[in-house]
Amino acid sequence: MRFSVIQSVVAAASVASAHTIMQAVNGLAMGKGIYMPDNDNTPIQDVSTDSIACSGSPVKKWRSSSDVIEVQAGSQVTGLWLHELGSTGPDEYSDNKIIASSHHGPVMAYLKKVDDATNNPAAGPGDGWFKISEVGYENKVWGVDKLIADEGIQTVTIPECIEDGDYLLRFELIALHSASQPMGAQFYLSCAQIRVSGGTASKTPKTVSFPGAYCNADPGILVQIWENDLPYPADYTVPGPVVFAC
């Protein structure tokens, strides 16, 4: 493994904001039922801060919503990632409308049951989170590669066995192109506000805390993904807990 010319170019591109924003849920209007950056696609890079729950500093501009999205347990929910708000194609920083294709890494989703989903992002930090989806790295295909192929649509299934009620749905993407350096991994995330009905409440998930579920030195966060100038390591471990299953 070596820090190559390609990696140097990738690192320089990251400074130029080849980033992404989660901005729409279930095909609804932009910002409806989600706390999201207001065209500020700055990543979170320190997992020990409260911002790792539902985002926050160093992102400076935000859009909040008073809407809660009604969702049936067992149904699918989609989230839309785009490089900037309303991106329709490549620009000087990104070679596609989603996120620069150099920003390889996993794509995940978590849920947290809360009293009031509109208390977002304040209800995010702390215990209660459980992972419901992950697309990591398999057969030289990263979760981000699949996300780009899917036109920025992240699709997750709400477990049918959970309790009814309000939840925060945490969409997350981790870009690992510069993750060989401490706090070089880039976390992009936003929390949607959903209300689940029709759940059987037949199983209680084990939960983790944000911050707390990740450490900056975890092998899936502090990691060299480049082998001979290609982003294809021998293996990769997605950070966080296992995916909850009914």
What is the Cα–Cα distance from 141 to 158, expressed in whole angstroms? 24
Q: Any idea which residues carry the catalytic annotation?
A: 177
- What tens digit of pLDDT does each residue of 113-172 get? 999 999 999 999 999 999 999 999 999 999 999 999 999 999 999 999 999 999 999 999
Nearest to 157 by CA among 89, 73, 49: 73
Length of the chain: 246
What is the Cα–Cα distance from 237 to 136, expressed in whole angstroms? 8
- What tens digit of pLDDT does each residue of 52-100 get? 999 989 988 899 999 999 999 999 999 999 988 888 887 777 777 899 9
Look at residue 95 in the predicted model and tell me its pLDDT.
Answer: 77
pLDDT tops 90 at residue 19: no
- What tens digit of pLDDT does each residue of 171-220 get? 999 999 999 999 999 999 999 999 999 999 999 999 999 999 999 999 99
What is the Cα–Cα distance from 167 to 169, expressed in whole angstroms? 6
Nearest to 174 by CA among 206, 229, 218, 209: 218
Taking residue 56's Cβ as centre, other Cβ atoms within 10 Å add up to 18
pLDDT band, very low/low/confident/very high, at 13 (cuts 50, 70, 90): very low
Look at residue 18 in the predicted model and tell me its pLDDT.
Answer: 67
CA distances, 12 to each of 35, 42, 229, 246 (Å): 29, 15, 16, 43
pLDDT band, very low/low/confident/very high, at 39 (cuts 50, 70, 90): confident
CA distances, 151 to each of 21, 47, 147 (Å): 13, 28, 6
